[in-house]
Structure 1
Amino acid sequence: MARVRVLPESARFPSHRETETALSLSERMPRLVLEARRVAANLSHGLHGRRRAGPGESFWQFRPFVTGEAAQRIDWRRSARDDRLYVREREWETTQTIWFWIDRSASMGFASSLAQAPKIERAIVLGLALADCSVDAGERAGLLGLMPPRATSRIAELMAEAMVADHGALTDDLPPQAPIPAFHEAILVSDFLSLPGEIAAVIEGISGHGARGHLVMIVDPVEETFPFQGQAILHDLEEGLSLRIGDAESWGKSYRERIERHRAEVSELVRRRGWTLTIHRTDRPASEAALHVLNLVTSSRGLGLGGR
């Protein structure tokens, strides 16, 4: 049977010293930054797929001339080497800005023996890795409410330092109501166990200014399967409540149905606003989710959902 544990507050709070069960976030952060760097490095080969044609000075590629295009776009030197007409395309050079938010509330301290890492660690690794990949692709990354967007090779370290210095986000299971300008993007990383109405308010608030976004839902395998039998004690990590039950197995079906309904509601929320939802289980590699999110970001821009 799966075993579960809950990381103490010090595992999410940066200022406490080492405890018996886990290191404080500040002491674990260097390891998480290195792990995020490894994930980003593994994805670097896919960054070229994020490039697209547009106004700019850097050459990107040649492509066949399409009837109806302006003749001055033809590259006659390249066309002379073949029996076809070719157009020289330049790479889109408008800087994108991506805002990140990483949930560090109580529920993110949950971890089971089936997971590769606690939810909080996986969320941080994913957020930093995505930020690193974004900056490497010529974009800017910032932390909602903590750090303005920057384009620097040290983005992972700077974001980690901002989180370590933040003493007030442990009870926030949703991002702050910080305005995001039009055409910017938001990547929100959380378990999103909040009420759908509260999640909807966040999505509407960001979308209302013309920005678009992506939700990355972090899930421990036990939270999906509820593989318990016999007597058990259920804990509400956010409210500090506990409930003792005599037959955990009988609760399993109702629990799984409720989780399924919750996800369906969240999926509908993001669909209505043209956002994306990625569900990542912590028994899967972080690189898997990171690549999926990068592809979704690229696809959303290609569909012209307000991007520049």
Structure 2
Amino acid sequence: MSSAADLRSGAEALAAPLPPLLASAEQLAASVALGQHGRRRAGIGDSFWQYRPSHQGDPGHRIDWRRSGKTDQTFVADKEWQIAQSVTLWVDRSAAMRHASSNRLPQKAERARLLALALASLMIRGGERVGLTGSTASGRGLPPRPGETQLTRLAQALTEEEAEDYGLPGHEGLPPHSRSVFLSDFLADPGPVEAAVTRAADQGIRGALLQVLDPEEQSFPFRGRTLFESGTGALRHETLKADALRQRYLDRLAERQDRLAALARLTGWLFTTHVTSEPAAPALLWLYTALDQRA
């Protein structure tokens, strides 16, 4: 059994990233004007929309005991306005996202977490419910909820890292007819992303794809002998003439971005690319506006 000292040390280590991340996210969110969201939209009423299994943290008064009495599971009756207010985030936390070409730049994962949490802060200030869907590998997520406590939960979940080289979006916890945001470098096999977004669109979910890249992934500045290695070291490729690969790489990157843009057009989502050497505020404003347009 862990000693009290070990428990305290572990808790402090776990909580250490939260205050800086929350403070940075709140500061970034403050740079974007708060718009009108959620229940204040015209035409959104209180009519029943769907039953869903209850989650830890759902208040007792929201449980529909008549529906729950028919099974061994408890259910919550979500209302139309609650669904319309829900925003679910997927943030790629794989090893590939822990890349930064310079110690003067943030890792892609750091920038994605910052943008996701700042967006969540804006949404929650506007009275919306924000949640997190896990990857297909981890399956971890948070159901959409309102309030400042949820912002702390999101910050805690976003500090967790995943062991896989590349992240694959999950689809758990995406309420039909809600909104969603996927943040990733999208450099892995695009098939799972296309499947997840298509499935979400079939459920009436609209949203945005934000590709987060390091500057060297955008420009491929390598020359001569170069060793390319994945985040986990599982994939390696060494070449003596890296500059000879530049045009092929740039062509494939452009092809990937065109494919993501086409996916967005087909499903009613929006797509753009953000490079970590650029300021974070314009990317946050783009996300905020994209969700507003999808309402």
Report deviation, 1:128.
Answer: 0.4
The percent of aligned pairs where both chains have the same amino acid is: 30
Letter matched to residue 157 of structure 1: T
* 1:203, distance to aligned residue in structure 2 (A): 0.8
Q: Distance in 2 between matches of 1:277 and 1:115?
A: 27
CA-atom RMSD in angstroms: 2.6
Letter in 1 for 2:141: L
Counterpart of 1:203, as a letter, is V
Opposite residue 259 of structure 2, the aligned amino acid is E
Structure 2: give runs of 5+ residues left out of the alignment.
Answer: 1-8, 46-80, 134-139
Structure 2 CA distance for aligned equivalents of residues 41 and 225 of structure 1: 32
1:158-173 equivalences in 2 (<5 Å):
158-164=153-159, 169-171=162-164, 173=167
Q: Match for 2:90 among 69, 81, 101?
A: 101
1-structure distance, mates of 2:283, 2:212: 10
Which residue among 213, 229, 234 is the counterpart of 1:235? 229
Equivalent residue letter for 1:161: Q
Offset from partner CA, 1:25-45 (integer Å, 9 cap, x none): 8543331221111101111xx
2:290 aligned partner: 296
The count of residues paired between Structure 1 and Structure 2 equals 241
Aligned mates of 1:194, 1:243 — CA distance in 2:
16
- Match of residue 251 from structure 1: 245
Normalization by structure 1: what TM-score? 0.71
Mapping for residues 1-308 of structure 1, pairs under 5 Å: 27-43=16-32, 46-48=33-35, 54-55=42-43, 96-113=85-102, 116-144=105-133, 145-164=140-159, 169-171=162-164, 173-237=167-231, 240-301=234-295
> For residues 179 and 155 of structure 1, do their structure 2 counterparts lie closer, same or farther at Cα, with a shift above 3 Å needed?
closer
Distance 1:209 1:53, change over 3 A: closer
Query: Alignment partner of 1:112: what SS?
Result: coil
Contact 1:184 1:212 in 2 (8 A): yes
Q: TM-score, normalised by structure 2?
A: 0.74
Q: 1:48 to 1:218 in 2, by over 3 A?
A: same
What are the superposed Cα offsets for residues 97-119 of structure 1, whole Å, 9 maximum, x if unpaired? 00011111010011012863110
CA contact (8 A) 1:123 1:190 kept: yes
Q: Distance in 2 between matches of 1:39 and 1:253?
A: 36
Classify the secondary structure of the residue corresponding to 1:111: coil
Bigger Rg, structure 1 or 2: 1
Change (3 A) 1:238 1:276: farther
